């Protein structure tokens, strides 16, 4: 019986297998080299990122330190305690960038509600001597153009829901009212309950006579917050001092009376748009003059003021 013939590889077959194996090994090596290179790249990127984070952290810390130092320096300027300091800071804002001052004033004004925080900007003593336009024999804050503009910018950021000038005027008035109330209370021997009542009455007194559209809007808003009876009581007191044609000027300034009537006829402004103030005023008028319809009595009183004003103008013109 013949033996089986062994299965020998030929030379070409062995060479082909080795070539394929070497080729795969080379591919694996190339892949390993690529992976190592990528890992080195990732490592370098991580190191660069770490350095960048460290640099950024250092920068933020330095910036915070510088900003803190700026605020510390700014604290030396506030609150403003005199006319000289007011002039000085106005000049500083003119020469330097006003942004830092605005930013610092925003910080000061944000600490409490505006009626309190305004004293972080201007001392109470200065507030008592000033108002925005120099009315009622006060000094004019608007004269310090650079400071005034910066302050309004700051207020606009803290209370963006209303006019910055209106918010500033209201805050300063609150400081003055509180100061006057404290003085009145300190001079009175009455008990605490009566003192508080006196203070509230004095606060209401501060709003009369009403001198502008803004003040009219403000008092309308205040009456809407549940103080109607107090305002009616005070207006009755004001209207009872003289006959209505004269005492109405304890409620409105003559300038305002000339611009308004109840329904806006004859190209005048409407009082009846002030839905809280007008009904309160009419109730006060009806208590003072119960025999005449309140609207009629109010219209008559306002007309008398207008007629008297026209008569004065006419006499002045005739004399000239």
Q: Are 140 and 91 in contact (CB under 8 A)?
A: no
Token pair 């590889």 is at which residue?
9
Query: 122 forms bridges with which residues in the sheet?
Result: 80
**For residue 199, what pLDDT is reported?**
42
| C-alpha to C-alpha distance for 113 and 101, rounded to whole angstroms | 19
If you search the block for the tokens 């106005």, which residue do you land on? 90
pLDDT tens digits in sequence order for the chain, 320 residues long: 555 555 544 555 545 666 677 677 777 877 787 878 788 878 877 888 877 776 675 655 554 444 444 445 677 889 999 999 999 999 999 988 789 999 999 999 998 888 889 999 999 999 999 999 998 889 999 999 999 999 999 999 999 988 999 999 999 998 988 888 777 655 555 444 434 444 444 466 677 888 888 888 888 888 877 678 888 988 998 898 788 888 999 999 999 999 999 999 999 999 999 999 999 999 999 999 999 899 999 999 999 999 988 888 777 666 55
Q: Quick check: pTM over 0.85?
A: no
* 3-state secondary structure (DSSP) of residue 227: helix
The tokens for 202 are 């004095």
Task: Count Cβ atoms below 10 Å from residue 58 Cβ, excluding itself.
Answer: 10
- What is the predicted pLDDT for the residue at 3? 56
- Chain centroid to CA 129: how far? 22
Number of CB atoms found within 10 A of residue 196's CB: 13
User: Rounded to 5 degrees, what are φ and ψ at 293?
Assistant: -55, 135
């Amino acid at each position: 019986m013949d033996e089986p013939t062994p299965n020998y590889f030929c030379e070409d077959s062995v060479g082909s297998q080795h070539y394929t194996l070497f080729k795969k090994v080379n591919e694996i090596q190339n892949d390993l080299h690529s992976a190592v290179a990528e890992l080195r790249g990732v490592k370098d990127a991580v190191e660069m990122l770490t350095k960048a984070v460290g640099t950024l952290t250092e920068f933020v810390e330095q910036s915070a330190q510088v900003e803190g130092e700026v605020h510390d320096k700014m604290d030396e300027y506030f609150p403003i305690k005199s006319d000289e300091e007011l002039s000085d800071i106005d000049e500083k804002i003119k020469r330097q960038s006003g942004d830092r001052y605005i930013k610092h004033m925003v910080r000061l004004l944000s600490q409490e509600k505006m009626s309190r925080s305004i004293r972080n900007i201007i001392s109470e003593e200065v507030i008592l001597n000033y108002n925005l336009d120099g009315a009622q024999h006060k000094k004019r804050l608007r004269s310090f153009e650079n400071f005034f503009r910066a302050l309004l910018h700051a207020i606009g950021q803290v209370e963006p829901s209303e006019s910055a000038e209106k918010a500033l005027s209201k805050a300063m008035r609150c400081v003055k009212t509180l100061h006057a109330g404290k003085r009145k209370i300190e001079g009175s021997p009455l008990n605490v309950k009566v003192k508080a009542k006196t203070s509230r009455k004095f606060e209401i007194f501060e709003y009369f006579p009403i001198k502008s559209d803004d003040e009219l809007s403000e008092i309308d808003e205040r009456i809407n917050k549940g103080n109607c009876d107090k305002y009616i009581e005070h207006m009755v007191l004001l209207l009872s001092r003289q006959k209505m044609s004269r005492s109405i000027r304890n409620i409105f300034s003559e300038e305002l009376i000339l611009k308004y009537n109840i329904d806006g006829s004859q190209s005048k402004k409407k009082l009846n748009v002030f839905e809280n103030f007008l009904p309160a005023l009419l109730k006060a008028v009806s208590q003072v003059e119960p025999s005449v319809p309140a609207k009629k009595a109010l219209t008559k009183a306002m007309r008398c003021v207008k007629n008297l004003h026209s008569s004065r103008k006419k006499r002045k013109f005739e004399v000239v």
